[in-house]
Amino acid sequence: MDLGLQDKIALITGGSRGIGRAIALALANEGCKVAICARDQEPLERALQQVQATGAEAIAEVADVRSRSEVEAVVERCATEWGGVDILVNNVGGAAGEQSLLETADEDWEETFDLNVFHAVRTTRAALPYMRQRGGGAVVIVSSISGWKPGPKSQYGSAKAAEIFLAGALALELAECGVRVNTVAPGSIFFPGGGWARFQEEQPEHFAQFVEREFPAGRLGTPEEVADVVAFLVSERANWINGAMIPVDGAQGRPTAF
């Protein structure tokens, strides 16, 4: 199936590893020009080389998405290099603080929302004028099943729920601009160097119990399985999907091993 993504300009935040890198590679293989950003130079450079190895045009910028000026600089680089932005994938996420409410501080909640929700607000706001100039675009926010299947770290799940709501609200607001906004909600995703890989190494018996209890297919998901859904959502084949939340979780039960 031709997704109609040839020569589209795509920006992926958190594109140096895991889901973000897989999305960058999927879009590059579909013919997109790909820009990625992340905080750490070395893994970002490795990811850039992998994307360029597909034959796609690609650029990378070190940026902290909690900084409005750094976000705007990344978007400006896309505009300078290629003339704008067609696709934005807000992939960066994470959590600050401990598990329980009483162990967390206001600052943990603020940092978690900054890294997830406000990052998506900043990048979408910065990219929107360029999308309008190009006649529209597509935004995907990478949320989590933690946004609708509660588990520990309530600050993280609350932020991910807010991302799902944000996408729905922006889908209504930006439809007149020809910009679609959707979320994907991955379950637990396994990749080398990721949190679940570390958990498997450190607590193999507990990990095996988690897989048996929560995963009908007997395994965690892969970054590529999420990336394939994102590539479809940002394509012209998904023109009538707007304001949606798409789980990519293999019917996973709870989003936590604890």
Q: What is the pTM of this model?
A: 0.96
In the chain, the percentage of residues whose pLDDT exceeds 90 is: 91
Are residues 36 and 164 located together in one domain of the fold?
yes
Which residue from 237, 247, 252, 222 is spatially nearest to 23, judged by alpha carbons? 222
Work out the average pLDDT over 140-163.
93
Work out the average pLDDT over 170-176.
98
Domain annotation covers residue 66: yes
| Number of domains comprising the chain | 2
Are residues 171 and 195 located together in one domain of the fold?
no
Are residues 66 and 153 located together in one domain of the fold?
yes
Domain annotation covers residue 177: yes
Q: Which of 82, 109, 118, 156 is catalytic?
A: 156
Domain annotation covers residue 132: yes
**Could you tell me the residue range of the domain that residue 200 belongs to?**
189-220
Domain annotation covers residue 114: yes
- pLDDT single digits (tens) 187-216: 999 999 999 999 999 999 999 999 999 999
Place of tokens 């799940």: 157
> Catalytic: 156?
yes
Are residues 92 and 176 located together in one domain of the fold?
yes
In this predicted structure, the answer to whether residue 98 has a pLDDT above a threshold of 80 is: no
- pLDDT single digits (tens) 57-82: 999 999 999 999 999 999 999 999 99
Domain annotation covers residue 1: no
60-63: long-range contacts (C-beta < 8 A, 24 or more apart)?
60/15, 60/16, 60/35, 60/36, 61/35, 61/36, 61/37, 62/37, 62/38, 63/13, 63/37, 63/38, 63/39
Domain annotation covers residue 207: yes
Half-sphere exposure of 67 (CA within 13 A, CB side): 10
Domain annotation covers residue 145: yes
